[in-house]
Amino acid sequence: MAGKFQWKLFSDINLADPFFDSLKADYPGTETSSEFSAWFQKKARSHEKALVYEDEYGICAFVAIKPEAESIELSSGAVLPAIERVKICTIKIDERHQGQRLGEGAIGLALWAWKDIRRDQIYVTAFDKHVPLIAMFEKYGFRKIGYNKNGEGLYLKDRKLLDYSTPYKSFPFINPHFNYAGYLIIEDAYHDTMFPYSELKNTVQESVDLNVANGVCKAYVGHPLSMPYQIGEPIFIYRKYTQGTGKRFKSCITSYCVITDIYQPRIAGRATMTFEEMMSKIRNKSVYSEDELRTKYLNSSRMTVIEMLYYGFFGEGHNKNMDWLDNNGYWCTNVPYPTEEKLTVQQFKEILSEANVDVENVIID
């Protein structure tokens, strides 16, 4: 059974797994680069780690990153100066998991790590034949600089030159020019599937193995009475506790996202798009199966889909519960779950800070 990406020592990863055969073939060793197996074994001797996703058959995704401070010579003769950067050394998704959003999740995790390492630039190299992977890097704001000496395209992202035209291109840094933030309420069972890295202290989380857990783009399907959200605005994810008493202390915000799309397939009993059109947009970003979504589509008079990017999480011990939000003036007491609450930019930053998030490393002015 697959789970989620985990950091593992190279020495604990099976280099003989057939997963690595194509990498061994692509990187046989040249004058400018080492052979893949030799590179891997060097990493193992250095006690370095990589992100690995495994299922019952073995490795199905692998990501290795490293900080470096080397100059980079391009095939054109241009040279990128030696500054501190992060390199995505290797990224590969097994073919048996194509379409299950592991590539998107791998890039998201690499960009989270880059943010935490606090270097201005991150880059990756890829041969032109890897078209879907390159398209995904470009979607997340990487720009092609040229080719390296091995004939790979070099794609770079710089936190000083962020493109805020879409939340994808600036990920994981929030566009500072938003007006309001808000809350999105998600029941605990669904929350724990959608946001697998948002861990809670002293709470047993149940999740199922769904594609929605793999990627960083999520789709909420519900029927709010109004639409207080705007594309590009950040929202806090509120995990609604449903297992018994004590919701005031066990319900909490765990994560923050940025809205990428909002649409209403049904309004006042009228369909605004066909079920097939809706599914082509949602795809596997929802916790619901296709049959469950069909039932909702056919039986709901009002249906709203909010797509969002999973920008970050607070981590065990740092989530803020309903009691804290209420006592500190961030929670409307007139209704049980204030989905229409509008937080100011300052309030959003205050909550992030109280949840142990370095605001200046998330919202870059």
- pLDDT of 2 > 50? The answer is no
* Across 69-95, average pLDDT: 92
- For residue 209, what pLDDT band results from cuts at 50, 70 and 90? very low
The answer to whether the 6-161 and 180-361 domains have the same CATH topology is: no
The per-residue pLDDT of the chain, averaged, comes to: 88
- Write down the pLDDT at residue 204: 34
Range name among 4-18, 34-48, 191-205 with the lowest pLDDT average: 191-205
Name the percent of the chain lying above pLDDT 90: 66
Q: What is residue 208's predicted lDDT score, i.e. its pLDDT?
A: 31
Nearest to 141 by CA among 114, 116, 171, 115: 171
Give residue limits of the domains in the chain: 6-161, 180-361
Thinking of the domain 180-361, which architecture would CATH place it in?
Answer: Roll (2.30)
Query: Which of 28-32, 292-296, 329-333 is most confident?
Result: 292-296
The token pair that represents 161 in the structure block: 């030159």
Residue 228: pLDDT band (50, 70, 90) is confident
Q: CATH classification of 6-161, choosing from 1.10.150.20, 3.40.50.300, 3.40.630.30, 1.10.10.10?
A: 3.40.630.30
**pLDDT greater than 90 at residue 361:** yes
Query: What SS3 string covers the chain?
Result: CCCCCEEEEHHHCCCCCHHHHHHHHHCCCCCCCCCHHHHHHHHHHCCCEEEEEEECCEEEEEEEEEEECCCEEECCCCEECCCCEEEEEEEEECHHHCCCCHHHHHHHHHHHHHHHHCCCEEEEEECCCCHHHHHHHHHCCCEEEEEECCCCEEEEEEHHHCCCCCHHHHCCCECCCCCEEEEEEEEHHHHHHHCCCCCCCCCCCCCCCCHHHCCCEEEEEECCCCCCCCCCCEEEEEEECCCCCCHHHHCEEEEEEEEEEEEEEEECCEECCCHHHHHHHHCCCCCCCHHHHHHHHHHCCCEEEEEEEEEEECCCCCCEEHHHHHHCCCCCCCCCCCCCCCEEHHHHHHHHHHCCCCHHHCECC
